Chain A
Amino acid sequence: MLVLLILHLLAALVAPLLVRWWGPRACYPLALAPAAAFGWALARTPAVDDGGAVVETYPWIGQLGLELALRLTTLSWLMTLLVGGVGALVLVYSAHYFRRESRGVARFAAVLVAFAGAMLGLVLADDLLLIYVCWELTTIFSYLLIGHSTERRSSRWAAAQALTVTTFGGLAMLVGFLMLGGHAGSYRWSAITAAELPGGAYLVTAVVLILVGALSKSALLPFNSWLPVAMAAPTPVSAYLHAAAMVKAGVYLIGLLAPVLATVGPWRPVVVVTGLATMLLGGWAALRQTDLKLLLAYGTVSQLGLLVVVVGAGTPDAALAGAAMLLAHALFKAALFLVVGIIDHGAGTRDLRELSGLGRRAPLLAAVALLAAASMAGLPPLVGFVAKEAVLAAFTDQPVVLAVLVAGTALTVAYSARFCWGAFATRAGVEPTTVGRIAAPMLVPPALLAGVGLVAGPAAGILDGLFRPYAELFGEVGKDLALWHGLTPALGLSALAVAGGAAVHALRGPLTPVLARLRSPVSGNQGYEWVTRRFDRLAIEVTGATQRGSLPQYLGTILLALVVVSGGAMLAARPWRHRIALWDTPLQVVVVAVIAVAAVLAVGARRRLTAMLLVGMTGYGSAMLFVLYGAPDLALTQFLVETATIAVFVLVLRRLPERFSARPLRRSRWVRRAIGVSVGAVTAGLALAAAGARRDPTISDAFPQLAVSEGYGRNVVNVTLVDIRAWDTMGELAVLVVAATGVASLVFERSRTGPRPQRPEPPTRAQRPGRPVWLRGGATLHERHRSIVLEVVTRLIFHTVIVVSLFLLFSGHNAPGGGFAGGLVASLGLAVRYLAGGRYELAEAAPIGAGTVLGAGLAVSVGTGVVALLAGGSVLQSARIDLSLPVLGEFYLVTSLFFDIGVYLVVVGLVLDILRSLGTEVDRHIEAAGRSGGGLVVDKRGSP
């Protein structure tokens, strides 16, 4: 069975290709997929006709206990035959329905085959969750098929409505499935039937939810409105989805579950009431239609109502009748849809007021249609008659239901007559319709379907034997399927219905105003529209109320939540209980005082530079606190970062206005400060609470010992970064690379990988021979921007700085330092080169792309981890290599040094990228703006 599903999938995948080669004719080879399913099911007939089952299971998602469980029983065998057989015929039909130049045929063919596969999966699945997955797949494919004419608004609307309604039902059904499966401990339907059912309201809820899904899929009240609207689809789609396959999914599900669930409280009332009401309303509405396709659509709604009543009734006789009806309906309704398609295709209209004389001009077509319609009306000796007899016979003990069924059947007879009359009668005053030559492959499928209906009637005995195993799931079967039962009440009622239907059709003239007036006051469409409008309104109200578009407002809300929630928890912990020291050293007090003053002043500062320097002061103060706390690595990094931050800030601030813009909102300022103070108080309280909250010894107690034994280093912080928690560092490196890329892409208008700036003029040495050149890029700067002192100092210290950075890198394993600190020092060296000599000097100092450095750093770090893995260790595990060199003597190397080198490179690359972007590139912007007389205009050509 899985092979069949895969076959459909493959066919769907190659369909676009085939259509490109062969046009709509590609549907012929594609029809092989559903035909294979048909043939396979036919070959399995002996296996299921004695009540047996064909079972296949494949492991799928082991953790969820989910497997691909497929099971072929009588009901699914019947559905497989219908899905495969009608599917193949519809594809053959489609090969001629579409013209070569029609748009979207490739998508149509692919989706139709995929739909056939999903439908096949649905009827073969034994697992409720698998049923759900296939169910939703059919919903999605039907969305694509209904919306075939993407350029037509009505088509898109119809597709969206079908999708919305059936997905809603599908979700309800899923919940029902989960409830059932959760209780039984298995989602295999065959296992659930064996398990004990849950009791009471739990089961009732589950059943109602599942019924909502089934009824919405089969377009029963109150979900019926989507089906007539879905007639916007091409006719082959209507024939397949809305007659034979998809709408039958709900009926199938009801039929599958009925043997077990029909006895549950609400099942029968829901199924019978909605089914009968749908049958009557659909039949009545069908009499009103002038569009033949819509007539059939409402007829389908009516028949689905009948099917749901019969299949859901839960008695053996009804089940037998239901199976026969399922078959009969698929045969005649698909045939009739295909006939309408031929008329529409040939005559260009399917409005019965514009058709005339078609019966005489296309006798073969008329014969096929009459045969199918007679089956629909339930005339002997067709299969429709057999099914209808069985239905009426099954309900003889329920007079009310029976009466409604007879009335509904009469309506069916009436609209069947209306269909034939509408399509083929000759109308006075209407120009005779011409349909041209009908291609044989278009006529054969409906003829075949109608013919099977003719053959199956007399062969009712065989059908009886085939369907009996399904009916026996409900108990002892009393009646049988046959063309002739003798003079039974059912026969009399049948005759009554035919007579009534004929009378209604004969009285169609006088009935017209009644038909137009007598209708449900609220159409399903209005209901759907009302609901969707309400949802839209609700969404807009909620969004409008919560999403005001103001960043400070959002942040304020989040922070207030922090104050309330965390603040409450903090107060509950009563942090003031903890007695902690005022200070470790009086120096702490001094530093904190400086930090506090700087922070508060920064809030009120009006100039950007002032605010930035004050904030920088808090950074340096933090570094001091780190020193006092016993964290020299942190202090070193914080000092370096703070310096680099100030340098980067200055690069940008030279472009921004000197002062912050004046803020008129004085009132909100106090709100902001109030929020700030409360968040600060809560955070401080949390710090206090956390101080006293420790109960267990910290895991880092073991770190010093681990650092020496596993990481071969004495600086615990560095070993933590490059070994114990190296994965964190790896993640951080990735973040830094992303940040660098982000900076560059915000500033560069084009790729940053272009040529680096080159000095425009020859080296200055040639200009002034004899004088030493301190920085070669310096000469490119404007005289007013040059500082010879800075150039000299830079020249003198740059190499020292680089050596120091390397020293920090290499010694970091055993003493404060490491890749971060080393990289930052080197970066500051580069920054100084840039500040002293301008962008050409930077290019001299680092004649390599920032992206290259970043990439190399990341590659080295990752490579270290990979090498450790290849060497048989775990990722990023350290190893110690003892070396002996002639001059240096004995020393050892730890492999995590290479990881640290990667860190170093990434940090250098980050700063280089920032200098290139916010330095070099912004320089160019400034120069371009200067050339064009100020403003924001920038030279787009990008030449430096």
Chain B
Amino acid sequence: MSPAFENYLSLDFFFVEAMKFGVKLLDSSNIEYFTQIVSTVSKLCSKTASDKSCALKLTTDLVYFILPEFAANNLGSGGSGRTSFWMSLDPKSLFDFYICEGKSCEENLIMLEIQPDNLLRALKSSPNMKMVRIKLTKRQTPCITVEIDLHSISSKTSSRTITHDIPVKVISSSKLSSTDFQEPNIDAAHLSIQIPPIKIVKHMVERMKCLSEFVFLEATDQGTLTFKIDADAASVCTYFRNLTNLPIHRQNADEYSLCTVRLSLKRLSDFINALQFQPNKIICNFVNNKYAHFFVIHNEDLMDTSKFITKQLELIELEKYAEIEESKELLNSCSLQRLQIKGLCLLKLKIDQKFTGLYGRTIIVFITAVPNKTINTQHFSSVFKMVLKKQNTGTLLGLQLNKIIRGTTK
């Protein structure tokens, strides 16, 4: 029996019959994507888990691959750090069919101990897969059964099916305390920063690994991140600037403007090399002198559309404000000729027509006073607030029009 999850395993296989878990993958791109995910989990486990196994947690909403800290092995005799991971997937975006029922309505979750390596081997066993079904079955022991339908070689024969049974162990939910297998607490972070493109970091970490065993990561709230090694032959320090700091949520606001952690370069490189997909972004949360928490976000575009739209609206609003500010700045600092070039003002206008519009408003139509000149539309491309200056009481002498040709005054 595996030592890592020993305390949590259920020996009562009766439960398995009451549980139901099934997945169907029909699309080849989804199959490939799922294989990448399993491959990442497998690589992470092979390097960091003490017995190459991790927990697979299934709920109705999400699928998790978890390696809790107690199951991660120490590196070397000095115990120079452990890596644990926690990965969540949205089954709706990944699988074409997904069902998960726990043994009862109250405990609607399934926890399994699995060797992801075996699952990966099953998924990679054949090149032209038509469909993949994964389900929880009971053989002599509980198993995850992977059924792969292959494209038939000739059109006449029906498709062939390959079945892999992967033995798993059931983790009893009754033995779980509320803190085990929970999402890592990001709230403990002192500082949060988005790390530079993974390609650069990956290469750099590999080079540093050749020189030293440990790296000091130093982040500030000014968007800088430093990788520092201090080896016998040389000390190397790489400075990244203009990175994005992310807000942290802390009640007892211990202000940290600078955070340092020392990481094993072997661990860090194992982690980076395990990522089998191109992450959208990686956020690093620092708990000063304790650990670094890497938050890898992949396939953010699969986020639901309403969130995306809200975000975009927010950004458009921000852009609008920025533009208004910029125009204000220009109006205050530039000459009128300069403003005209920038499309913020129109010089030498004269009144062409004047008539009464709706609700008794006076409508004035301006044309350019310069003979043989037409005003291009780019000179007043966006409608802007009109500013009227009354120099003498009642008479309009100076008219400052911003980007509008037909002004309405009352």
Partners in one complex: no
